[in-house]
Structure 1
Amino acid sequence: MFAKIGLGLLCGIVLGFVLQRGRFCVVSAYRDVILVKDNRMFIAVLIAIAVQSIGVYALAGLGLIQLTDVPFTWLGAIVGGFVFGWGIVLAGGCATGTWYRAGEGLLGSWIALFAYMLGTVATKSGVLKPAHDALTRHKGGDAFIYTTLGISPWVLILLFAALVSLIVWRHLRQPALVVPTLKPRKSGLAHLLFEKRWHPFVTALLVGIIAIAAWPMSEATGRMFGLGITTPSGNLLRYITTGDATYLDWAVFLVLGIALGSYIAAKGSGEFRWRLPDVKTIRHNFVGGLLMGFGASIAGGCTIGNGLVNTSLFTWQGWVATLFIIAGTWSATYVVIMRGRRKETAGAAPGQTAPLSM
Structure 2
Amino acid sequence: MTTRPLFWKRLGHPHRLGAAAVLLAAALAAVGLTVADGDFLARASSLVAGVVFGVALQRGELSLVRAWRDLIVLKDAGQLLGFLAALFVAATLTLGTLAALAAVPPADARIGPVHWLLPIAGFVFGIGSVIARGGVMVHMRRLGEGSLVAVPALLATFVGFVAGITIWPWTWAHAIGNAPTPWAPAWFGMAGTLALQTLLLAALAAALWRYRPRDDDDGPKSFLRRALIDPWPAWAAGGLLGALVAASYAAGEPLGLIAECATIARWFATALGLAPVDLPGLDEGVGGLSAPLEAFGVTQHVVILFGFMAGAFAAALASGRFRFAGFTLREGAEMVVGGLLLGVSAMTALGAITGEAIAGVAVGALSGWIFLISASVGIVTALKLDRRSAMMSVVPPPSA
TM-score computed with the length of structure 2 as normaliser: 0.73
- CA 1:195–1:231 in structure 2 vs 1: closer, same or farther (change >3 Å)? same
Deviations 1:212-240 (A, max 9, x none): 111233x2xxxxx4112222233356679
Other structure's SS at 2:374 match: helix
Match of 1:211 in 2: 245
Report if aligned partners of 1:120, 1:231 keep a CA contact under 8 Å in 2: no
- CA 1:167–1:249 in structure 2 vs 1: closer, same or farther (change >3 Å)? same
Other structure's SS at 1:9 match: helix
- CA 1:233–1:163 in structure 2 vs 1: closer, same or farther (change >3 Å)? same
The alpha carbon displacement at 1:196 in A equals 3.0
> Does 2:101 match 1:101?
no
Deviations 1:304-335 (A, max 9, x none): 12221112222121111222111111111122
Distance in 2 (CA, whole Å) between partners of 1:58 and 1:175 is 28
Distance in 2 (CA, whole Å) between partners of 1:25 and 1:84 is 13
> Does 2:256 match 1:228?
yes
- CA 1:171–1:130 in structure 2 vs 1: closer, same or farther (change >3 Å)? closer
Report if aligned partners of 2:51, 2:307 keep a CA contact under 8 Å in 1: yes
Distance in 1 (CA, whole Å) between partners of 2:81 and 2:344 is 27
Distance in 1 (CA, whole Å) between partners of 2:183 and 2:215 is 43
- CA 1:321–1:165 in structure 2 vs 1: closer, same or farther (change >3 Å)? closer
Q: Which residues of structure 2 form unaligned runs of 5+?
A: 1-32, 272-292, 396-400
Match of 2:305 in 1: 255
User: What CA RMSD, in Å, does the superposition of the two structures yield over aligned residues?
Assistant: 3.3
Report if aligned partners of 1:74, 1:140 keep a CA contact under 8 Å in 2: yes
Match of 2:338 in 1: 288
Match of 1:269 in 2: 319
Aligned partner letter, 1:145: A
1:170-189 to 2 correspondence within 5 Å? 177=214, 179=216, 181=218, 187-188=222-223
> Does 2:373 match 1:323?
yes
Deviations 1:85-109 (A, max 9, x none): 1111111112211211111111111
The alpha carbon displacement at 1:259 in A equals 1.4
The alpha carbon displacement at 1:37 in A equals 2.9
Report if aligned partners of 1:236, 1:247 keep a CA contact under 8 Å in 2: no
Distance in 1 (CA, whole Å) between partners of 2:77 and 2:358 is 17
Aligned partner letter, 1:264: A
Aligned partner letter, 2:246: I
Report if aligned partners of 2:160, 2:344 keep a CA contact under 8 Å in 1: yes
Match of 1:38 in 2: 76
Other structure's SS at 2:237 match: helix
Structure 1 or 2: more helix by fraction: 1
Distance in 2 (CA, whole Å) between partners of 1:19 and 1:176 is 19
- CA 1:88–1:176 in structure 2 vs 1: closer, same or farther (change >3 Å)? closer
1:130-209 to 2 correspondence within 5 Å? 130-134=169-173, 136-137=175-176, 139-147=178-186, 150-165=187-202, 168=205, 177=214, 179=216, 181=218, 187-188=222-223, 190-209=224-243
Task: Give the alignment partner of residue 66 of structure 1, picking from 99, 106, 127.
Answer: 106
Deviations 1:243-280 (A, max 9, x none): 95565431222122111100000011110011112221
- CA 1:90–1:44 in structure 2 vs 1: closer, same or farther (change >3 Å)? same
Task: Give the alignment partner of residue 28 of structure 1, picking from 66, 70, 95.
Answer: 66
> Does 2:130 match 1:77?
no
Aligned partner letter, 1:157: L
- CA 1:174–1:324 in structure 2 vs 1: closer, same or farther (change >3 Å)? closer
Deviations 1:195-220 (A, max 9, x none): 23311111111111111111233x2x
- CA 1:105–1:8 in structure 2 vs 1: closer, same or farther (change >3 Å)? same
TM-score computed with the length of structure 1 as normaliser: 0.81
Distance in 2 (CA, whole Å) between partners of 1:118 and 1:170 is 39
Task: Give the alignment partner of residue 12 of structure 1, picking from 50, 62, 70.
Answer: 50
Task: Give the alignment partner of residue 382 of structure 2, picking from 313, 321, 332.
Answer: 332
- Indicate the percent of aligned positions where both proteins have the same amino acid: 23
Distance in 2 (CA, whole Å) between partners of 1:29 and 1:96 is 14
Distance in 1 (CA, whole Å) between partners of 2:220 and 2:88 is 36
Match of 1:349 in 2: none
Aligned partner letter, 2:180: G
Deviations 1:155-204 (A, max 9, x none): 231233244346557866778635475996xx54x323212331111111
Report if aligned partners of 2:77, 2:211 keep a CA contact under 8 Å in 1: no
Deviations 1:284-312 (A, max 9, x none): 11111111010011112111122211122
Match of 1:118 in 2: 159
Deviates more, 1:191-200 or 1:136-145: 136-145
Q: Which residues of structure 1 form unaligned runs of 5+?
A: 220-224, 346-353
